[in-house]
Structure formats: structure tokens, C-alpha cells
């Protein structure tokens, strides 16, 4: 009497390789982020047991499209370009497509438009940047839709697994001290968009560095911009036309710092001999303007990569082993000098 041999199952393979069924499935479907050692163990078990994967089950496993959306609205093109490059670079390595989806932060239909976009595009997850990553109504809507997300540079209180930030406060504290060590006491500051919570940390770092040095942050030296070149021009004109103008200006991003340089040139104020200027981000323009801008290098490409890495790990239920806070660093160029005389 012939005894019919039971077909080998995926559970048998998992038991033989001493891994989970999910891990076997990921190896069979050639999914990313599986250790080479684990792949070899599973493949060896498959060969030993002569396991034949179910083609229909494989097709179901692949039915969810591997598509991520990058949703953004920023007045600084350089910022989003570098984040985008990081996201694209990482996603393409692991077989994910990326939809670049610009939005209007101040559009009344933003929430409804986002819901429609998600429904039509069938995206698996979303990465978003400031100021959208600081917009509670949008984030709440993504939660309602059970949409996996990563927030770049968000000041909102969310789980660490859902955001990637940089050390805005510490970097701003350091660059302010760079000015103070060069003898500057009357330092102007141009804030970023109030809706961008992490950019507001840059003012906090500036304020605390001034306080630690026993220097007063005078109200007339504090301006609020919108992270754009145009808003930086308006703020710079007010600061540099003061009767007792500052000897240095810290703008919360490079776009606004470049505007300060432009206005100073128009007013025949020499940089850096009569005015030191610093920015934040280290976008390409910092070395295109003259003099080259002292700034904080914000690793935007790495932040984009980390956001894509973390989102894919969330989607595929694997552990994220990268950094949550990507460190920025001071870059000293030609736009700062020692304070030499009263202005």
C-alpha cells in the first residue's frame, strides 16, 4: 500500500531554516532588507525539502504596489530638492517607486485633496516635509486612513518610529557662539515660518546662546520671515536700516541669509568687515554668492534617505537600524569676521 506523501509547506521550510514564515515569504518574493546569511539558510532549506512555492500566493503577496509618495510644500526649492534626491536614491535601490506630490499648505481643500490622491494613487506610505509635517489636521487624516508615514523635521509629538529630525537647537546654539566668540554682541535674527516648528528651535538655540553669554536679544533685532528669499529681503531692510544696526545677522535658512547679503550690498555695507551673516541648511547657493556663506550644513540628502529607509522598514515590518536624528554641523566660510569697530 502506497502512502501519499504530504506536500512540503512553507512552515516546514521555516522550521528547517529556524526562521519565521514571514521571513521565508520575504526571501521567496525577493524582498529587500533580508540578511544574506538568512537568505542562504532559507534557500538551503528550500533545496533540501524540494519546496515549490504556490504561484497564486506569490502573486497575492505582490498585489500591493511598492509605491511611496513624497508630499511637500516649501518656499525653499533647494530644501525639497535635496530631501527628494535622498528619498529617490534609497527607494530605487529597494524596488520602490516614488510619486512626487506638491501641495499648497494654505489651500482650504488640502485634506480632501490628499484623501483623493491617496485613493487614486494606491500608495503604500507617505513621507512629508515641513510645513506639512507640522500640520496636525493632515497628520490626523493620515492616521484615520491608517496610512504609514514618516515626518521629516516635524516638531509634532509623534512616535520616534514616524519621524526623522536634525539637531536644529544645538546647531543654532553653536553657530550663534561662533558669532559671539568673534566679538559680536548686537546680533539680529530672522526667524523662519512660525508654522514650521523645528525651524523655531533655531531661534531657541540662538536665544539660549545669547542668554548664556549675558547678551540681550533686543526686540528690534528680531524679525519673522517665511523661509523665502522675498521675506528675507523685507526683514533685512528693516534690520540694516536701523539707526543702531546689528554687527551680525543670523537668518534661519540660507534663502533668507542670501537676501541679507543682497540688501547689504545695496546699502554698501561690506561683508564681513562691517556685517557678518550666517544662515542654515548649506544649500548650493551658499558657495555661489559672494562672500561664501557661513552656515549650518543640514544633511538633507541623508534625511531623505533615512525617511525612506524608516518607511520601508515600517511597511515591511523589519527593524530600522539607522539614525532618528541626523546631525547638522557648522561650516565656516567668508561671510563672518571678528567685530572690529562700532557701527
Q: What is the pLDDT of residue 343?
A: 44
Place of cell 501641495: 103
What fold, for 10-50+57-61? 434 Repressor (Amino-terminal Domain) (1.10.260)
- In sequence order, the 6+-apart residues with CB closer than 8 A to the CB of 274 are 247, 343
Q: What is the pLDDT of residue 27?
A: 82
Give phi and psi for 136, each to the nearest 5: -55, -40
What single string gives the DSSP state of each residue in 209-225?
Answer: HHHHTT----GGGEEE-
Same fold? 10-50+57-61, 168-298: no
Q: What is the pLDDT of residue 63?
A: 54
* Cα separation, 254 vs 79, whole angstroms: 10
Reference 327, options 160, 170, 133; nearest CA is 170
Q: What is the pLDDT of residue 58?
A: 52
- Three-state DSSP at 175 gives helix
Q: What is the pLDDT of residue 313?
A: 94
The domains of the chain are located at 10-50+57-61, 168-298
Q: What share of the chain is helix, strand, coil (3-state, %, to 5)?
A: 45, 15, 40
- Three-state DSSP at 90 gives helix
223, β-bridge pairs: 190
pLDDT along the chain (343 residues), means of 10: 64 88 79 82 86 56 74 79 94 91 82 86 90 91 92 90 93 98 97 84 96 95 93 98 97 95 97 97 91 96 96 92 91 94 52
Give the burial class of 95: count Cβ atoms within 10 A of its Cβ; 0-12 exposed, 13-18 middle, 19 or more buried. Answer: exposed
Torsion of CA 152, 155, 157, 162, to 10 degrees: 10
* Cα separation, 206 vs 7, whole angstroms: 68
> Measured between alpha carbons, how far apart are the two ends of the chain, in Å?
106
Alpha helices per DSSP H over the chain: 10-17, 21-28, 36-49, 55-61, 77-93, 110-121, 136-144, 168-181, 197-212, 229-240, 254-266, 300-315
Task: Count Cβ neighbours within 10 Å for each residue of 32-52 and write b for 16 or more, e otherwise.
Answer: eebeeebeebbeebbeeeebe
- The distance of Cα 77 from the centroid of its chain, to the nearest Å, equals 14
Q: Please, are residues 113 and 107 in contact by the beta-carbon 8 Å criterion?
A: yes
- Please tell me the CATH superfamily of domain 168-298, with its number: Response regulator (3.40.50.2300)
pTM: 0.74
- In sequence order, the 6+-apart residues with CB closer than 8 A to the CB of 115 are 141, 145
165, β-bridge pairs: 325
Reference 283, options 304, 261, 301, 262; nearest CA is 301
Q: Please, are residues 152 and 249 in contact by the beta-carbon 8 Å criterion?
A: no
Helix (H) or strand (E) holding 182: none
Q: Please, are residues 313 and 125 in contact by the beta-carbon 8 Å criterion?
A: no
* Cα separation, 86 vs 322, whole angstroms: 14
Q: What is the pLDDT of residue 56?
A: 42
Amino acid at each position: 500500500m502506497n502512502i501519499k506523501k504530504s506536500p512540503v509547506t512553507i512552515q516546514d521550510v521555516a522550521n528547517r531554516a529556524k526562521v519565521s514564515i514571514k521571513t521565508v515569504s520575504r526571501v521567496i518574493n525577493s524582498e529587500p532588507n533580508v540578511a544574506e546569511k538568512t537568505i542562504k539558510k532559507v534557500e538551503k532549506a528550500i533545496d533540501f525539502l524540494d519546496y515549490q512555492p504556490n504561484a497564486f500566493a506569490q502573486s497575492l503577496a505582490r498585489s500591493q504596489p511598492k509605491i511611496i509618495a513624497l508630499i511637500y510644500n516649501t518656499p525653499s526649492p533647494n530644501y525639497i530638492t535635496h530631501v527628494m534626491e535622498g528619498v529617490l536614491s534609497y527607494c530605487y535601490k529597494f524596488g520602490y517607486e516614488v510619486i512626487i506630490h506638491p501641495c499648497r499648505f494654505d489651500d482650504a481643500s488640502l485634506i480632501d485633496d490628499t484623501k483623493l490622491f491617496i485613493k487614486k494613487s494606491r500608495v503604500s506610505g507617505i513621507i512629508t516635509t515641513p510645513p506639512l509635517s507640522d500640520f496636525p489636521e493632515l497628520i490626523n487624516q493620515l492616521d484615520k486612513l491608517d496610512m504609514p508615514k514618516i515626518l521629516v523635521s516635524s516638531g509634532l509629538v509623534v512616535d520616534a518610529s514616524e519621524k526623522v529630525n536634525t539637531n536644529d537647537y544645538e546647531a543654532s546654539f553653536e553657530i550663534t557662539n561662533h558669532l559671539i566668540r568673534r566679538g559680536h554682541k548686537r546680533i539680529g535674527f530672522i526667524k523662519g515660518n512660525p508654522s514650521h516648528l523645528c525651524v523655531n528651535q533655531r531661534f531657541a538655540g540662538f536665544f539660549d546662546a545669547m542668554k548664556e553669554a549675558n547678551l540681550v536679544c533686543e526686540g528690534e533685532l528680531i524679525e519673522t520671515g517665511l523661509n523665502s528669499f522675498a521675506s528675507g529681503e523685507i526683514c533685512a531692510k528693516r534690520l540694516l536700516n536701523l539707526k543702531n544696526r546689528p554687527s551680525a545677522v543670523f537668518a534661519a535658512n540660507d534663502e533668507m541669509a542670501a537676501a541679507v547679503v543682497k540688501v547689504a550690498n545695496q546699502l554698501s555695507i561690506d561683508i564681513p568687515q562691517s556685517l557678518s551673516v550666517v544662515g542654515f541648511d548649506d544649500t548650493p547657493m551658499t558657495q555661489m554668492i559672494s562672500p561664501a556663506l557661513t552656515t549650518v550644513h543640514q544633511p538633507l540628502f541623508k534625511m531623505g534617505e533615512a525617511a525612506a529607509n524608516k518607511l520601508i522598514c515600517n511597511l515591511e515590518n523589519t527593524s530600522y537600524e539607522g539614525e532618528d536624528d541626523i546631525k547638522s554641523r557648522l561650516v565656516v566660510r567668508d561671510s563672518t569676521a571678528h567685530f572690529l569697530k562700532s557701527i
